[in-house]
Amino acid sequence: MSNTSEDKRFIKNSVEAAIQIGVIMMLIYWCFKLAAPFISVTLWGLIIAIGSAPIYEWIKTKFNGKSGLAATVFTLIMLAVLITPSVYFTESIMASSQQLSTALEENTLSIPASPESIADLPLVGEKLDGFWQQAHNDLKGFLERYQEQVKAIAGFLIKAAANLGVGILMFVFSIIIAGVFLAHTKGRQEAVNKLMCRFLGEKGGEVSVLAQQTVQSVVRGILGIAILQAILAGIGFTVIGIPGAGILAIICLILAIVQIDILIILIPLSIYAFSHFGTGAAVAFLIWNLIVGLMNNVLKPILLGRGVKAPMAVVFIGAIGGMLAHGIIGLFVGAVVFVVGYTLFINWVNSDDDEAIAKAD
């Protein structure tokens, strides 16, 4: 009889426990679904706050340690830095799209002859020159022949332009969130440390410091340089009058973040400038492009930090994966998160080796 009573009690407790776990899991899932649209924005705000902490501290000293005022000034400066080129490049993209659409409708669009140097490029030179010459000699026939591919590219560009507007809005929210985090820097650091210690125990504090140092290095050494290169390249495109300056600047930004040298864009455009603009302007444009393109090689070793040695493949996977998952903002968040994860993993692997060596000694 007692065994039957114990069995019933066990079954009752098991059922109650299963129901409680089910309710908790459902609540967690529901909370995640509600928070999911804001995760990438909030995470990017946290990354901006950590990466720009030295700048914020400098501003704070100028306002006699008033954290709220310093955070407000920092937020306004960051918004100005973001919105000004974004609006300019967006207008450039819209104007270029409108001009292209009008030229196609009126059948006035023409493709210049390909430079002689195109055919000399290894592997793809002859094929690229052939496509270019087809478009130059018979643009209407070329568009009809590759109608499906042209539609696919046009659809992709329209979708990218729409996502760009949403991305800019998300950046605005992220900068505001970063300002809030910076205004409460002490509380933010304590919360991160407590969370790390909760999951990792004694090593939580050490991992927290390493993660923050990695974020600062990546934001300065990869994202910061990429944004600077894209802005300067866009200025050069606009000043000399390269068509589609905004689109080309965004392409440069993406390439720079995924660690592909933007000289593959700048050099052909420099060649294009020599065939369509004056010699003096083309030479100045070439020199400007070389400075912008080689900037990465000079600044990265200084800003990236000695402790961060992430392979290009890690940055590439994080940036492209982030963009596919979360749009334009994921391009930035993905690169940082993946590099941080890689750095922490390598540090964890090496720490085991260090402990083994210490025990052997």
Predicted confidence at residue 124, as pLDDT, reads 63
Domain boundaries, the chain: 8-351
Residue type, position 354, single letter: D
Predicted confidence at residue 120, as pLDDT, reads 65
Q: What angle do CA 67, 73, 79 make, to 5 degrees?
A: 130
Q: What is the pTM of this model?
A: 0.66
Predicted confidence at residue 272, as pLDDT, reads 82
Query: 310: which 2 tokens?
Result: 């992430």
Q: Residue 282 and residue 272: Cα distance in Å, rounded?
A: 9
Q: Provide the residue count of the chain.
A: 361
Sign of dihedral through CA atoms 116, 117, 120, 123? Answer: negative
CA distances for 253 relative to 82, 88, 258, 284, angstroms:
14, 15, 9, 22
Predicted confidence at residue 112, as pLDDT, reads 66
Query: 126: which 2 tokens?
Result: 């002859």
Predicted confidence at residue 157, as pLDDT, reads 62
Predicted confidence at residue 92, as pLDDT, reads 67
Predicted confidence at residue 35, as pLDDT, reads 79
Sign of dihedral through CA atoms 208, 212, 213, 215? Answer: positive
Q: What is the CA radius of gyration of the chain?
A: 27
Residue type, position 94, single letter: M
| Contact by Cβ (8 Å): 286, 271 | no
DSSP 203: G
Predicted confidence at residue 156, as pLDDT, reads 63
Cβ neighbours of residue 164 closer than 8 Å, sequence gap 6 or more? 90, 93, 250, 328
Q: Residue 167 and residue 187: Cα distance in Å, rounded?
A: 28
**Three-state secondary structure call for residue 277:** coil
Predicted confidence at residue 303, as pLDDT, reads 64
| Contact by Cβ (8 Å): 265, 252 | yes
Predicted confidence at residue 93, as pLDDT, reads 66
Q: In the chain, which stretches have pLDDT less than 50?
A: 1, 356-358, 360
| Contact by Cβ (8 Å): 126, 119 | yes
Residue type, position 25, single letter: M
Q: Residue 234 and residue 85: Cα distance in Å, rounded?
A: 9
Sign of dihedral through CA atoms 330, 95, 131, 120? Answer: negative
